[in-house]
Amino acid sequence: MKSTRNRTCKLIAIILFLFIALSSSACGGVPPTEPAPEPPPSVATFEQAVTNPGSESPPQTSSEPQPPAEAELIVFAAASMTNTLEEIALLYKEIAPHITLIFNFDSSGTLKTQIEEGAESDLFISAAQRQMNELEELGLLFDGTRINILENKVALVSAPGNPKNIAGFTSLVDALLGGDILMAIGNSDVPVGQYTISIFGYFGLDEDALARSGVLTYGSNVREVTTQVSEASVAVGIVYQTDAFSAKLDVLDFATPEMCGQIIYPAAVLRDTANMEEAQAFLNFLFTPAALAVFESVGFSALR
């Protein structure tokens, strides 16, 4: 009887063990659930990423063209170009507002000397070939940039009212030899003075002898000669026709090529320029119809 009771207890224990095991297996068999997806970024978050990109954001590109860098361009030019280049500078500012043009106007001889002595300059425009030739021989021009741009004329002009009644170069010679006149000319180191000496040679006149006789006064550039005539401190003078036009002087005669050759204005970019592209661009602009119209309005002639 006791044995039967023991077997019954063992059977009950086995049944309870199996029940507990099966219950544990059923509870642990539930498969893990997938994590919930993150919500998409809000519009505000996207706008903030665009306006305030972080270190990992891709670089932003702009479709706006970048303005050209500001630059100063120093132009050494013959004094006879003062009015025209100042007017052309206003036109150029409209198409190249980033360029500031700085002009140094004087006689071509003075400008040449300044360049030789190391004066800062980007572009040189001379009233004669001689000064440009000398700079080229010294290797001070940027190779391939020299070009002839304009032709001028040498004019015999009178003070208001033509007080000595000079009709032209022939009557001027008679007045000079007679000592009954005072005439203004350029110094021998400036182009207008060199052209005048050539005219004297054509008529057989000796400049030194004329100077000793007291019939000549001098100017360090053509503007000074023009001023002397305009103020009637002399009876006549030899200047460029462009200066005569600007000063509203009466032109009595023009020198022929046989008297003094052609009056050609060459230009070139200087070797030591720090603004090669800007200097060449402005030089090119001098050949545009707008710039040539300004030159021609005072008597210059275009060469191309």
What pLDDT sits at residue 7?
A: 55
Q: Residues 17-28: pLDDT tens digits?
A: 554 444 544 444
Residue 13: is its pLDDT beyond 70? no
Q: Residues 151-202: pLDDT tens digits?
A: 999 999 999 999 999 999 999 999 999 999 999 999 999 999 999 999 999 9
Bigger pLDDT: 13 vs 291: 291
Confidence band for 118, pLDDT divided at 50, 70 and 90: very high
Mean pLDDT of the chain: 86
Q: Where are the alpha helices (DSSP H) in the chain?
A: 2-28, 43-51, 82-95, 108-116, 129-137, 169-178, 191-202, 207-213, 222-230, 241-247, 257-260, 276-285, 289-297
Residue 30: is its pLDDT beyond 50? no
Rounded to an integer, what distance in angstroms lies between the CA atom of residue 260 and that of residue 278?
A: 35
What pLDDT sits at residue 303?
A: 87
Bigger pLDDT: 144 vs 60: 144
What pLDDT sits at residue 1?
A: 47
Q: Which residue has the tokens 């309870």?
A: 16
Q: Residues 130-162: pLDDT tens digits?
A: 999 999 999 999 999 999 999 999 999 999 999
Question: How many other C-beta atoms lie within 10 A of the C-beta of residue 29?
Answer: 7
Instruction: Say what the pTM is.
Output: 0.75
Q: Residues 273-289: pLDDT tens digits?
A: 999 999 999 999 999 99
Share of the chain above pLDDT 90, in %: 76
Bigger pLDDT: 97 vs 64: 97
Every domain of the chain with CATH number 3.40.190.10 lies at 71-151+263-302, 154-254
Angle at which helices 108-116 and 129-137 cross, to 10°: 10
Which of 86, 248, 252, 273 lies closest to 163, judged by CA? 252
Q: Residues 232-241: pLDDT tens digits?
A: 999 999 999 9
CATH class, range 154-254: alpha beta
Rounded to an integer, what distance in angstroms lies between the CA atom of residue 228 and that of residue 159?
A: 8
Residue 42: is its pLDDT beyond 90? no
Confidence band for 69, pLDDT divided at 50, 70 and 90: confident
Q: Could you tell me which CATH number the domain at 71-151+263-302 has? A: 3.40.190.10
Residue 272: is its pLDDT beyond 50? yes
What pLDDT sits at residue 26?
A: 45
Report the sign of the C-alpha dihedral through residues 38, 43, 44, 49, in that order.
positive
Residue 81: is its pLDDT beyond 50? yes
Rounded to an integer, what distance in angstroms lies between the CA atom of residue 183 and that of residue 211?
A: 10
What pLDDT sits at residue 59?
A: 52
What pLDDT sits at residue 40?
A: 44
